[in-house]
A and B are shown apart, each in its own frame.
Chain A
Amino acid sequence: MKWERLSAIRLIEELKSGSITSEEISAYFLDRIKKVDHILNSFITLNEKAVKEAEKIDKDKKGGRLAGLPIAIKDNITTKGIRTTCASRILENYVPPYDAEVISRIKREGGIIIGKTNMDEFAMGSSGENSGFGPTKNPRDLNRVPGGSSSGSAAAVAAGLAPLALGSDTGGSIRAPASFTGIVGLKPTYGAVSRFGLIAYANSLEQIGPMGKNVLDAAYLYSIIYGEDEKDSTSLPSPPLSIERISNFEAKGVKVAILTDLVSRVDEPVRKVFERGINYVSEIGAEVSEVKLEGIDLALPAYYVIACSEASSNLARYDGVRFGVDCRTNLSWRDAYKEVRKLFGKEVKVRIMLGAYALSAGFFEEYYVKAVKVRRKIREGLKKLLKRYDYIAIPTMPVLPWRIGEKLDDPLYVYLSDALTVPANLAGVPAISLPIGLADGLPVGIQFIADEFEEEKLFGLAKRFEEEAGELGVVDL
């Protein structure tokens, strides 16, 4: 039986009914990963204890809502006892002594952590090429990037190596790889999911989110992880989410706004498919309008200033003294720290330095303060739009997945590819990406954005859309 073809929800039904055991399913996927992943490089660490843990769940009959289903976790989410590297050499041997809150919630509902997935180092990147453990490949085309930074999680789901995965999204890191690999990924409202245990890149922008083959799978995983956490001062309470209401969502009459400014700037093949997507949106009964959002082109620079500034501070702790790679004590402390921090990859170094630059005396007003103002205006602008319209629809990515290594000499190209995803992070509103179809054999995703804490509404529209556009399914490797 090709279990990877079944949806996660279906697998859970099978598990609950007892027709399969957690041990069988975990062993199955673990096996598949070991056979296939050397092609993709989507996992950094496998949980060898997974099968034993699954056995225990079967024995204790403590199924929970995940019923013993294996889940892949992006390697910047802390897992107790399982190596957590953020795809960085500096954390090569770091085994955390505590679980992230989302991991606790998953375990409480009987989820099995099957392994930690590859990513751009410290979540800095949009392609999956910036990993200290080698790039991940796009299952849809092994010569191309899967998108980043949740590259491994996306590839794993798209290739059927795990039924569900967790990613994190700071500037598009869930949605971009979801779009490039043809799966579903949600960036929740800022504060909806606890960041306790998410190894920080840019605290005010990022959220952990679900990734799955289809909308309901992603929604199901979301329903397990979301909710306020007293250990995260920035988390907020969410209204209750109902999978049933999502399944029965009525899309007729909803108002969808397309940001024409942004759409006009995407590559031709992407725009063509996006237009098809808009037709689907009309087909399901929505009213489509074209709107302009002033100042949206300032979103990208504002994002990079804020993200890099926060990152430069967040990554200061990596000095080899309390955890991670060992620091040499026979050097003066500044040299000892420099020695350890040499292990950061190039992109990480770039962003740390840019962040320090933006925060330094003399440039603080030039960059940081301006970025904060732009951010405020974009948030106001988006929220205003989302009062008039139910959703905003734009492509997820302005380009098709490029060839691995092709853009190493053109970093600007990669930076600009975030243009469509960063506005939602700046504003703190939820956004989902799901496949429309293929362009030259490569997936193109559509992005829906809704107002804060309207995840259910977002999933609902996405569900109706998916029924029209269809799922891309898993790749047979």
Chain B
Amino acid sequence: MKGELEYLADLVLLELTREERREVAKRLKALKSVLKKLENVEVGEEPPFLPTLRLKLRKDEPKVFNVEELLSIVPKVKDRYVKGPKTI
């Protein structure tokens, strides 16, 4: 279970502390037991279930947003760029 936990956590960029690992493993186990019922469901290919079947389209007309307000909530900005970590 541990290896699986590490793999899953890494997949979604989550890091678990040691005590968390125990608790998370327990809750995951409980949830998985809830999911067990699905085992007996037979299924072929199923089209996507999208509750709303009405397509909404937007006109191709530009609208301006107050960008300064937006940038003011970005944690780190340099020369209008959003500062982020290195991509390596």
What is the interface of chain A, defined by CB distance below 8 A to chain B?
94-97, 190-191, 204, 230, 233-236, 297-298, 300-302, 304-305, 308, 312, 316, 319-339, 341-342, 344, 346-347, 349-354, 356-358, 360, 365-367, 369-376, 411-412, 415-416, 428
Contacts of B49 in A (CB 8 A): 204, 372, 375-376
- Taking a contact as CB atoms under 8 Å apart, the answer to whether B82 and A322 are in contact is yes
- Say yes or no: A373 contacts B14, CB within 8 Å: no
Contact assessment for B14 and A301 in the assembled complex, using a CB-CB cutoff below 8 Å: no
CB distance from A144 to the nearest CB of B (A): 21
19 A-B residue pairs with Cβ-Cβ distance under 8 Å, sorted by A, are: A94-B73, A190-B52, A316-B13, A322-B74, A322-B82, A325-B75, A328-B85, A332-B86, A332-B88, A341-B15, A342-B14, A342-B15, A342-B17, A346-B23, A351-B31, A353-B9, A358-B35, A412-B34, A415-B30
**Complex Cα–Cα for A357 and B86 (A):** 28
Instruction: Give the contacting residue for B35; candidates A204, A305, A351; CB below 8 A.
Output: A305
| Residues of chain B with a CB closer than 8 A to A333's CB | 84-88
B75 and A321 within 8 A (CB): yes
User: Is there contact, CB below 8 Å, between A329 and B86?
Assistant: yes
Report the Cα distance A437→B64, complex, angstroms.
53
Q: List residues of chain B with CB under 8 Å of any chain A CB.
A: 5, 8-9, 11-17, 20, 23-24, 26-28, 30-38, 41, 43, 45-46, 48-52, 54-56, 58, 66, 69-70, 72-76, 82-88
Can you name 20 extra interface pairs (CB under 8 A) apart from A190-B51, A334-B13? A204-B51, A230-B56, A236-B54, A298-B38, A298-B41, A301-B37, A301-B38, A304-B31, A323-B73, A324-B75, A326-B75, A328-B85, A329-B76, A333-B86, A350-B27, A353-B8, A356-B11, A365-B43, A369-B46, A415-B34
A337 to B8, CA, bound (A): 15
Are B34 and A416 in touch, CB under 8 angstroms? yes
Q: How far is the CA of A97 from the CA of B75 in the complex (A)?
A: 14
Contact A374 B38 (CB under 8 A): yes
C-alpha gap A412/B64 in the complex (Å): 48
- Nearest residue (CB) in B for A297 is B37
Known: A298-B41, A301-B34, A370-B41. A338 touches B46 (CB 8 A): no
Query: Considering only CB atoms, which chain A residue lies closest to B41 in the complex?
Result: A370
Query: In whole angstroms, how far apart are the Cα atoms of A94 and B75 in the complex?
Result: 10
Report the nearest A residue to B49, measured CB to CB. A372
Please indicate the chain B residues that have their CB under 8 angstroms from the CB of A234 in the complex.
51-52
Pair B13/A341 contact, Cβ less than 8 Å: yes
Query: In whole angstroms, how far apart are the Cα atoms of A204 and B78 in the complex?
Result: 37
Q: A94 CA to B5 CA in the complex, in Å?
A: 30
Query: In whole angstroms, how far apart are the Cα atoms of A106 and B26 in the complex?
Result: 42
